[in-house]
Amino acid sequence: MSAEIELLERDGFDSLLAALAADGYTVIGPTVRDGAIVYDEVHTAADLPVGWTDEQGGGHYRLHRRDDEALFGYAVGPHSWKRYQLPPEVTVWRGRRRADGGLERFEEAPREPPRLAFLGARSCELHATEILDRVLLGGAHPDPADRARREDVFVVAVNCGEAGGTCFCASMDTGPVAKAGFDLALTEVLEDGRHYFVVDVGSERGADLLARVPHAAAAEPERDAARRIHEHTAATMGRELDVTDIRDLLYRNYEHPRWDEVADRCLTCGNCTMVCPTCFCTTVEDTTDLSGDVVERRQSWDSCFTVDYSHLSGGSVRGSGRSRYRQWMTHKLATWFDQFDSSGCVGCGRCITWCPVGIDITEEAAAIRASDGERRAGA
């Protein structure tokens, strides 16, 4: 964490966005659309969910008006930054079939991808980005296209002013305060008639940008205000997850009766995998045009909840909903450690909020822990 703590007044905020635009960045940030807060292009502060907050619970998400004009007075919505790091649909290659049956690959003239600036990234999301980096770039075969998407992204993080109803980043040690992975991190303060941002500078690039924006050094009372907000957020998490020995706890409970119980509720709709910022499964499809000569390979998000996901020898290894929910949860909290040296969960709570039946990963883990070792009949 940088020792440079600066102050940005509310009326200087648009200068920050203007400076990013002047540097050629397309700024992506939270906006209100269709009753939710989703990521889209933003140009000025007016594009942000000014004065909005969210109410989140199991299978529940509503927006409400605040009684102030906070720019970031809400938790995370259904979108995550994953959609920019690992887009929902990507064309992997295109080819034209030759007479000998082979494919002649042709590259489309590479469009200059826009330089992106992420505005409003939360600590949980920064951890999710790092986790996805390890999956996509940390193996033996990193894809240059994945690497290109990660280069030159400017990150303006925001430290949450309040914890969401389903948040548990404190349990996962992934927040609420951003510690790394950002160029600038803002803590929004609305107090005593003032509205300002305490700015943590996280990189040279961040310092350079801030230098071109009206700002000052943050005074002690202002830093204290930010600190109080951080502590309050950490103390008011909507959920808790006891991560003591969580990997081995789940490893020894594959036949726990709780999996049958959750299977009675789970629709295997896959919403959780779509909103989760670390779920990375994809599938590919080869398609041709009507002539059969132009072939395209498209990669798109997939979900371990689909029946075909584990197809093998004419059937599926995980045919039952029970086995598929178990796969998702044990991957997220346990086998991810063996596969990628970290937990797969950042405690953002999206899976709880966006599950149509409100299944709560923290509740499921607690239920298994409470009767550790119990086995379903006949197991």
Partner 1 sequence: MQGLEELIAAAPVFAGLAPDQLELVAGCGANRRAEAGEVLFREGDPADLFFLIRAGTIALEVHSPGRGALVIDTLHDGDLVGWSWLFPPYRWRVDGRAVGPAALIAFDGLCLRGKCEADHELGYQLMRRFAAGAIERLQATRFQLLDVYANPAAR
Partner 2 sequence: MVPAAFVVRAKRRETADTWTFELEPEGGGFEFSPGQFTMLAAGGAGEAPISISGDPDDPARLVHTVRAVGAATRAICAAEPGEVLEARGPFGGAWPLEAAEGDEVVIAAGGIGLAPLRPAILRLLDRRERYGPLHLLYGGRSPDQLLYPAELEEWAERGLEVALTVDSAGPEWLGHVGVVTRLVGRAELDPARTTAMLCGPEIMMRFTVAALTARGISTERIFASMERNMQCGIAHCGHCQLGPTLVCRDGPVYPWSELEAWLAIREL
* Residues that bind partner 1 in the complex, under the rule CB under 8 A: 310-317, 319, 377-379
**Could you tell which of partner 2, partner 1, none binds residue 377, using a CB distance below 5 to 8 A set by kind?**
partner 1
Question: Rg (Cα) of the chain, in Å, rounded?
Answer: 23
**Could you tell which of partner 2, partner 1, none binds residue 193, using a CB distance below 5 to 8 A set by kind?**
none
**Could you tell which of partner 1, partner 2, none binds residue 295, using a CB distance below 5 to 8 A set by kind?**
partner 2
Cα dist. 189→123, 186, 198, 269, 346 in Å? 17, 9, 7, 39, 25
| H-helix or E-strand spanning residue 155 | strand 154-159
> Please, which residue, 88 or 102, has the CB nearer to partner 2?
102
> Please, which residue, 84 or 254, has the CB nearer to partner 2?
254
- What string marks each residue from 105 to 124 as x (binds partner 2 by CB under 8 A) or -? x-------------------
Q: Which residues pair with 297 in a beta bridge?
A: 93, 286
Among 136, 177, 225, 272, binds partner 2 (CB under 8 A): 136
Query: What region, left, alpha or beta, does residue 336 occupy, with left being phi > 0 and alpha being psi -120 to 50 degrees?
Result: alpha
Q: Using CB under 8 A, which residues numbered 274 to 303 contact partner 2?
A: 280-286, 288, 292, 295, 302
**Could you tell which of partner 1, partner 2, none binds residue 24, using a CB distance below 5 to 8 A set by kind?**
none
Q: Phi and psi at residue 353, in whole multiples of 5°?
A: -65, -45
Q: Which residue has the tokens 């050094």?
A: 217
| H-helix or E-strand spanning residue 222 | helix 220-235
> Please, which residue, 148 or 317, has the CB nearer to partner 1?
317
DSSP one-letter code for 138: S
Smallest distance from partner 1 to CB 376, Å: 9
Closest CA to 218 of 9, 15, 1: 9
**Could you tell which of partner 1, partner 2, none binds residue 378, using a CB distance below 5 to 8 A set by kind?**
partner 1
Sites of contact with partner 2 (CB under 8 A): 93, 95, 97-98, 100-103, 105, 135-136, 139-141, 143, 254-255, 280-286, 288, 292, 295, 302, 304, 309-313, 317-320, 322-323, 327, 331, 334-335, 337-339
